[in-house]
Amino acid sequence: MILDKLSNSGLYENVHPGFAKAFNFLQTNDLQNLALGKIELSGKDIVVNIVEMEGKTTAQAKMETHANFIDIQIPISGTEVMGWKPTADLQEVTHAYDAEKDVALYADKASNLIEVHPLEFAIFFPQDGHQPGIVSGIHKKIIVKIRV
């Protein structure tokens, strides 16, 4: 897992071949005013999802993992709390891995909760269980999915 300000994204462009393209998009667009929806940056291998979601409490938010994609999550409309726990430590499966959606859900709770402020980003790799969406009210965010 990586947590940093979007202004520091250049430090991470060499971590994965798709990061440079993803961060270039994030740095060169007005993220506050992007329309809701999906933008394919590199076919299905790098997809930007601009979403509005109903916030959840810590108790309501589900821990999730992905096997084939890395998530870069960027809150836009306010601070979002995201939980983290190593995938290897997750034990309470509530929805078995769905290969089509590339997600498994767990009842486990995070071992760490982090505040991610607007225009900061959190990167979750397949080894990172994450519990996003802990925020009150309607929340706008960007989720970039990058194939491993």
pTM over 0.95: yes
Tokens of 141: 């965010």
Percent residues over pLDDT 90 in the chain: 100
User: For the domain bounded by 2-147, which CATH number is listed?
Assistant: 2.60.120.370
pLDDT score of 100: 96
State how far the Cα of 6 lies from the Cα of 8, in Å rounded to an integer: 5
pLDDT score of 127: 98
Q: How confident is the model at residue 111 (pLDDT cuts 50, 70, 90)?
A: very high
pLDDT tens, residue by residue, 4-54: 999 999 999 999 999 999 999 999 999 999 999 999 999 999 999 999 999
pLDDT score of 119: 93
Three-class DSSP labels, 24-68: HHHHHCCHHHCCCEEEEEECECEEEEEEEEECECCCCCCEEECCC
Tokens of 86: 């190593």
Q: In what order do the strands lie in the sheet with 128-134?
A: 93-98, 103-106, 63-65, 128-134, 80-86, 112-116
Q: In what order do the strands lie in the sheet with 46-54?
A: 2-5, 120-124, 69-75, 138-147, 46-54, 37-42
